Amino acid sequence: QAHLFDAFSQVDTSTTRRYGGSGLGLAICKRLVEALGGTIGVESLSGVGSRFWFEVPMTLGEPTALEEPEKLGMMKHSPQRVLLAEDVEVNRVLVTKMLHTQGYQVVAVETGEQALAAATDEDFDLILMDVNMPVMDGMEATRRIRTLPAPRGRVPILALTANVLPEDLLRYQAAGMTTTITKPIDWQRLFGAMAHYGQNGRTADAPHTGMSAVGQELREQLHRLDDGTGMGMRDIARLFIQDTQRRLSELGRMLETADADGVARLAHAVKGSAGNLGLRRLASLCGEIETAARAAELETVPGRLDDAEAEFAGICNVLAQLNTEPPPPCAS
């Protein structure tokens, strides 16, 4: 029980192989509860069951009306058929209901094998694929779907996962996944990605004419650096990913030991490299971390670090996409 709330920890290592899951759920819960100033615990008896509990200080708020979906940027659209593959029942039900609110028609399955069978027999506009499922995981299911004849083998597949290290993102892309949605799910980002990849019957290998402004700017800056340094675009991207991942990981360790100088130094380094590539949001977030650390306000850093890591994960997605992009046209 002492390690139940540690990341990637499960009581029995065969659990992941048999039932799926990554052992991140309780670690995420612990972090969320502690961020709210609360405590979390477990009471368990072998063969009887377990009771998980948490306490957080709360104040009563004034009830407010929910925003309309359009106000959140989740525009209604013509109905599209979505295949959802998710082994955890509560997640499957929740995602299905949220998709229904946006007008999507959903077919929900719980294994990679079922996802492959459905994608083989039916037409879908989009597939939402959990990565870590029992028996056949999401990556293997995606590889097999990609062998199907068009259009079924070209449907956009969005990976759903909490594992978003740079090397993970590259593995998902290599398996044929179109992009990655990080768990816990940010609904606005999910619906935005679905609208982007599902519009006009977009297929997985269609040209990326809808690349984000960040992607376009990063692409052009990488090519400028390519011309100026003699390094290939992929080499520059790989170096940035490796260096930034190392520094953000080390920054997290420095934060755990309350090393304000170390946190400031590492945040400053990432801010500089991100700025050189035109990644203004990541540079800004790291600048905020640096400022907070120099002011000895480390209690404000964890939230900013989470935002920086999420931004970095999105950048890694863009960089993976750029690996298949042709160079921009030369200016006349």
Specify whether 200 is located in the same domain as 117.
yes
Q: How far apart are CA 119 and CA 146, in angstroms?
A: 10
Where among 176, 206, 236 does a domain terminate?
A: 206
For 64, phi then psi, to 5°, come to -130, 155
Mean pLDDT computed over every residue of the chain: 78
**Quick one: which of 271, 276, 252 has its CA closest to 262?**
252
**Quick one: which of 129, 172, 176 has its CA closest to 148?**
176
**Quick one: which of 34, 33, 26 has its CA closest to 7?**
26
Mean pLDDT within 287-308: 90
**Which residues form the domain of 259?**
214-322
pLDDT higher than 70, residue 300: yes
Specify whether 88 is located in the same domain as 178.
yes
Question: Which of the pair, 279 or 324, is modelled with greater confidence?
Answer: 279
Specify whether 89 is located in the same domain as 159.
yes
Where among 151, 182, 206 does a domain terminate?
A: 206
Specify whether 318 is located in the same domain as 231.
yes
Q: Maximum CA pair distance of the chain?
A: 74
Q: Token digits for 78?
A: 């013509």
- pLDDT digits over 52-69, tens only? 888 988 877 666 554 444
Alpha-helix runs per DSSP H in the chain: 14-19, 25-35, 89-101, 112-121, 138-145, 166-175, 187-198, 213-229, 233-256, 260-276, 280-294, 301-322
The count of structural domains within the chain is 3
Question: Which of the pair, 63 or 241, is modelled with greater confidence?
Answer: 241
